[in-house]
Protein backbone atom coordinates (compact mmCIF):
# COMPACT_ATOMS: atom_id res chain seq x y z
CA UNK A 1 0.00 0.00 0.00
CA UNK A 2 1.25 3.47 -0.91
CA UNK A 3 2.47 5.28 2.23
CA UNK A 4 0.70 8.55 2.81
CA UNK A 5 2.57 11.67 3.94
CA UNK A 6 2.03 12.98 7.47
CA UNK A 7 -0.87 15.41 7.76
CA UNK A 8 1.22 17.60 10.09
CA UNK A 9 3.92 17.99 7.43
CA UNK A 10 1.34 18.86 4.79
CA UNK A 11 -0.34 21.37 7.10
CA UNK A 12 2.94 23.03 8.06
CA UNK A 13 3.93 23.31 4.37
CA UNK A 14 0.55 24.88 3.57
CA UNK A 15 0.81 27.25 6.50
CA UNK A 16 4.24 28.41 5.44
CA UNK A 17 3.05 29.01 1.86
CA UNK A 18 -0.07 30.86 3.05
CA UNK A 19 2.03 33.03 5.40
CA UNK A 20 4.38 33.96 2.56
CA UNK A 21 1.37 34.76 0.36
CA UNK A 22 -0.13 36.95 3.07
CA UNK A 23 3.18 38.73 3.66
CA UNK A 24 3.49 39.48 -0.06
CA UNK A 25 -0.03 40.90 0.05
CA UNK A 26 0.78 42.99 3.11
CA UNK A 27 -0.15 46.23 1.34
CA UNK A 28 -3.81 45.24 1.30
CA UNK A 29 -3.65 44.21 4.97
CA UNK A 30 -2.06 47.53 5.91
CA UNK A 31 -4.92 49.29 4.13
CA UNK A 32 -7.43 47.19 6.08
CA UNK A 33 -5.70 48.27 9.30
CA UNK A 34 -5.53 51.93 8.39
CA UNK A 35 -9.31 52.44 8.46
CA UNK A 36 -9.83 51.54 12.15
CA UNK A 37 -6.68 53.44 13.17
CA UNK A 38 -7.85 56.55 11.29
CA UNK A 39 -11.27 56.24 12.91
CA UNK A 40 -9.60 55.97 16.31
CA UNK A 41 -7.57 59.11 15.66
CA UNK A 42 -10.59 61.06 14.42
CA UNK A 43 -12.76 59.88 17.33
CA UNK A 44 -11.01 61.75 20.10
CA UNK A 45 -14.28 63.41 21.07
CA UNK A 46 -16.05 60.04 21.22
CA UNK A 47 -13.41 58.67 23.58
CA UNK A 48 -13.99 61.55 25.98
CA UNK A 49 -17.80 61.12 25.78
CA UNK A 50 -18.23 57.34 25.65
CA UNK A 51 -14.95 56.05 27.04
CA UNK A 52 -11.92 54.18 25.77
CA UNK A 53 -13.49 50.69 25.58
CA UNK A 54 -16.29 52.05 23.34
CA UNK A 55 -13.81 53.53 20.87
CA UNK A 56 -11.39 50.60 20.94
CA UNK A 57 -14.12 47.98 20.56
CA UNK A 58 -15.66 49.88 17.64
CA UNK A 59 -12.29 50.08 15.86
CA UNK A 60 -11.50 46.43 16.47
CA UNK A 61 -14.95 45.41 15.21
CA UNK A 62 -14.49 47.49 12.05
CA UNK A 63 -11.14 45.79 11.49
CA UNK A 64 -12.66 42.33 12.03
CA UNK A 65 -15.39 43.06 9.47
CA UNK A 66 -12.68 44.04 6.97
CA UNK A 67 -10.58 40.92 7.61
CA UNK A 68 -13.53 38.57 7.22
CA UNK A 69 -15.34 40.23 4.37
CA UNK A 70 -12.59 41.84 2.32
CA UNK A 71 -9.52 39.80 3.15
CA UNK A 72 -10.73 36.23 3.56
CA UNK A 73 -13.63 36.07 1.10
CA UNK A 74 -11.76 37.79 -1.73
CA UNK A 75 -8.66 35.64 -1.39
CA UNK A 76 -10.73 32.42 -1.28
CA UNK A 77 -12.78 33.53 -4.32
CA UNK A 78 -9.66 34.46 -6.26
CA UNK A 79 -7.83 31.22 -5.50
CA UNK A 80 -10.90 29.16 -6.32
CA UNK A 81 -11.23 30.91 -9.67
CA UNK A 82 -7.57 30.19 -10.48
CA UNK A 83 -7.95 26.47 -9.71
CA UNK A 84 -5.49 26.58 -6.82
CA UNK A 85 -7.83 24.61 -4.53
CA UNK A 86 -8.36 21.90 -7.14
CA UNK A 87 -4.62 21.31 -7.37
CA UNK A 88 -4.37 21.07 -3.60
CA UNK A 89 -7.36 18.74 -3.38
CA UNK A 90 -5.80 16.08 -5.59
CA UNK A 91 -2.93 15.79 -3.10
CA UNK A 92 -2.94 13.07 -0.43
CA UNK A 93 -4.00 15.26 2.48
CA UNK A 94 -7.39 15.81 4.12
CA UNK A 95 -9.37 18.66 2.54
CA UNK A 96 -9.76 20.42 5.87
CA UNK A 97 -6.01 21.17 5.90
CA UNK A 98 -6.51 23.69 3.11
CA UNK A 99 -9.06 25.75 5.01
CA UNK A 100 -7.48 25.32 8.46
CA UNK A 101 -4.26 26.80 7.12
CA UNK A 102 -6.19 29.78 5.72
CA UNK A 103 -8.08 30.27 8.96
CA UNK A 104 -4.91 30.14 11.07
CA UNK A 105 -3.51 32.97 8.97
CA UNK A 106 -6.68 34.96 9.58
CA UNK A 107 -6.32 34.27 13.30
CA UNK A 108 -2.84 35.78 13.18
CA UNK A 109 -4.29 38.81 11.37
CA UNK A 110 -6.96 39.20 14.07
CA UNK A 111 -4.37 39.11 16.85
CA UNK A 112 -2.19 41.61 14.96
CA UNK A 113 -5.14 43.94 14.38
CA UNK A 114 -6.16 43.87 18.03
CA UNK A 115 -2.58 44.47 19.17
CA UNK A 116 -2.15 47.43 16.83
CA UNK A 117 -5.45 49.01 17.96
CA UNK A 118 -4.41 48.63 21.61
CA UNK A 119 -1.03 50.21 20.90
CA UNK A 120 -2.65 53.03 18.92
CA UNK A 121 -5.23 53.55 21.67
CA UNK A 122 -2.51 53.78 24.27
CA UNK A 123 -0.33 56.16 22.27
CA UNK A 124 -3.07 58.42 20.93
CA UNK A 125 -5.70 58.47 23.69
CA UNK A 126 -3.70 57.02 26.61
CA UNK A 127 -6.22 54.19 26.96
CA UNK A 128 -4.93 51.37 29.12
CA UNK A 129 -6.62 48.22 30.35
CA UNK A 130 -5.98 45.75 33.11
CA UNK A 131 -3.98 42.64 32.17
CA UNK A 132 -7.17 40.57 32.47
CA UNK A 133 -8.93 43.10 30.27
CA UNK A 134 -6.31 42.68 27.53
CA UNK A 135 -6.51 38.87 27.71
CA UNK A 136 -10.32 38.71 27.58
CA UNK A 137 -10.38 41.31 24.80
CA UNK A 138 -8.10 39.18 22.66
CA UNK A 139 -10.34 36.17 23.26
CA UNK A 140 -13.53 38.07 22.46
CA UNK A 141 -11.88 39.57 19.38
CA UNK A 142 -11.14 36.04 18.18
CA UNK A 143 -14.75 34.99 18.79
CA UNK A 144 -15.91 38.13 17.01
CA UNK A 145 -13.51 37.47 14.15
CA UNK A 146 -15.11 34.05 13.74
CA UNK A 147 -18.45 35.77 12.99
CA UNK A 148 -16.99 37.74 10.09
CA UNK A 149 -14.91 34.87 8.80
CA UNK A 150 -18.14 32.88 8.85
CA UNK A 151 -19.87 35.67 6.95
CA UNK A 152 -17.02 35.71 4.44
CA UNK A 153 -17.40 31.94 4.07
CA UNK A 154 -21.14 32.41 3.52
CA UNK A 155 -20.48 34.88 0.73
CA UNK A 156 -18.05 32.57 -1.11
CA UNK A 157 -20.40 29.68 -0.44
CA UNK A 158 -23.35 31.40 -2.08
CA UNK A 159 -21.52 33.30 -4.83
CA UNK A 160 -19.12 31.73 -7.35
CA UNK A 161 -17.96 34.65 -9.46
CA UNK A 162 -14.96 36.40 -7.86
CA UNK A 163 -15.95 39.85 -9.10
CA UNK A 164 -19.41 39.42 -7.60
CA UNK A 165 -17.83 38.20 -4.34
CA UNK A 166 -15.67 41.32 -4.32
CA UNK A 167 -18.55 43.73 -4.88
CA UNK A 168 -20.83 41.92 -2.43
CA UNK A 169 -18.12 41.92 0.24
CA UNK A 170 -17.46 45.63 -0.21
CA UNK A 171 -21.16 46.46 -0.09
CA UNK A 172 -21.73 44.31 3.00
CA UNK A 173 -18.67 45.86 4.67
CA UNK A 174 -19.94 49.35 3.98
CA UNK A 175 -23.46 48.53 5.21
CA UNK A 176 -22.20 46.89 8.39
CA UNK A 177 -19.93 49.79 9.25
CA UNK A 178 -22.34 52.60 8.43
CA UNK A 179 -25.50 51.05 9.87
CA UNK A 180 -23.56 49.60 12.80
CA UNK A 181 -21.78 52.79 13.79
CA UNK A 182 -24.63 55.23 13.27
CA UNK A 183 -27.29 52.82 14.46
CA UNK A 184 -25.46 52.22 17.72
CA UNK A 185 -25.16 55.94 18.34
CA UNK A 186 -28.91 56.30 17.93
CA UNK A 187 -28.65 58.42 14.79
CA UNK A 188 -30.99 56.04 12.91
CA UNK A 189 -33.63 55.91 15.63
CA UNK A 190 -34.29 53.87 18.77
CA UNK A 191 -35.68 50.84 16.97
CA UNK A 192 -32.66 50.60 14.71
CA UNK A 193 -30.42 51.04 17.76
CA UNK A 194 -32.01 47.99 19.40
CA UNK A 195 -31.67 45.95 16.19
CA UNK A 196 -28.02 46.95 15.83
CA UNK A 197 -27.29 46.00 19.45
CA UNK A 198 -28.26 42.38 18.70
CA UNK A 199 -26.88 42.31 15.15
CA UNK A 200 -23.54 40.63 14.32
CA UNK A 201 -21.92 44.09 14.53
CA UNK A 202 -23.50 44.99 17.86
CA UNK A 203 -22.96 41.72 19.71
CA UNK A 204 -19.32 41.50 18.62
CA UNK A 205 -18.65 45.08 19.61
CA UNK A 206 -20.35 44.67 22.98
CA UNK A 207 -18.52 41.53 24.02
CA UNK A 208 -15.17 43.08 23.04
CA UNK A 209 -16.02 46.25 25.02
CA UNK A 210 -17.19 44.23 28.03
CA UNK A 211 -14.07 42.08 27.79
CA UNK A 212 -11.97 45.23 28.21
CA UNK A 213 -13.70 45.92 31.54
CA UNK A 214 -14.23 42.45 33.01
CA UNK A 215 -15.87 43.95 36.09
CA UNK A 216 -18.80 45.16 33.98
CA UNK A 217 -19.53 41.73 32.46
CA UNK A 218 -23.13 40.80 33.23
CA UNK A 219 -25.83 38.35 32.10
CA UNK A 220 -26.68 40.50 29.09
CA UNK A 221 -23.06 40.24 27.90
CA UNK A 222 -23.20 36.48 28.40
CA UNK A 223 -26.32 36.42 26.23
CA UNK A 224 -24.51 38.60 23.65
CA UNK A 225 -21.62 36.10 23.69
CA UNK A 226 -23.98 33.19 23.00
CA UNK A 227 -25.65 35.14 20.20
CA UNK A 228 -22.22 35.91 18.73
CA UNK A 229 -21.24 32.25 18.81
CA UNK A 230 -24.60 31.44 17.25
CA UNK A 231 -23.98 33.88 14.39
CA UNK A 232 -20.51 32.41 13.80
CA UNK A 233 -21.88 28.88 13.76
CA UNK A 234 -24.80 29.71 11.47
CA UNK A 235 -22.75 31.62 8.91
CA UNK A 236 -19.97 29.02 8.93
CA UNK A 237 -22.22 25.97 8.64
CA UNK A 238 -24.26 27.39 5.77
CA UNK A 239 -21.13 28.76 4.08
CA UNK A 240 -19.29 25.43 4.31
CA UNK A 241 -22.30 23.38 3.17
CA UNK A 242 -22.84 25.57 0.12
CA UNK A 243 -19.16 25.99 -0.73
CA UNK A 244 -17.92 24.60 -4.04
CA UNK A 245 -14.21 24.05 -4.49
CA UNK A 246 -14.27 25.19 -8.11
CA UNK A 247 -16.35 27.50 -10.24
CA UNK A 248 -17.32 24.95 -12.88
Site for other proteins, rule CB under 8 A:
1-6, 9-10, 12-14, 16-17, 20-21, 24-25, 79, 82-84, 86-94, 245-246
Residue 74 CB, shortest distance to other proteins, in Å, is 14
Residue number with CB closer to other proteins (100 or 142): 100
208: Cβ contacts below 8 Å, ≥ 6 apart: 56, 57, 60, 61, 137, 140, 141, 144
Q: Judge contact between 128 and 41, C-beta under 8 A.
A: no
Residue number with CB closer to other proteins (86 or 122): 86
Residue number with CB closer to other proteins (14 or 136): 14
Residue 22 CB, shortest distance to other proteins, in Å, is 9
Residue number with CB closer to other proteins (90 or 191): 90
Residue 7 CB, shortest distance to other proteins, in Å, is 9
Residue number with CB closer to other proteins (9 or 218): 9
Residue 197 CB, shortest distance to other proteins, in Å, is 40
Residue 228 CB, shortest distance to other proteins, in Å, is 32
Q: Using alpha carbons only, what angle is made at residue 85 by residues 84 and 89, rounded to the nearest 5 degrees?
A: 125
Amino acid sequence: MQPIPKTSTALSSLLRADLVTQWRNRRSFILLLLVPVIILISWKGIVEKFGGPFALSSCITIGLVAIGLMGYSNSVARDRDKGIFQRLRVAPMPGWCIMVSRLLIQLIMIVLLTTIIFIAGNNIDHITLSPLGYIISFLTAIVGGAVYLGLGQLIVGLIQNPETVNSTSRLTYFLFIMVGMFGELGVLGDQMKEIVLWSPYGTVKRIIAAGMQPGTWNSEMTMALFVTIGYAALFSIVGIKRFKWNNK
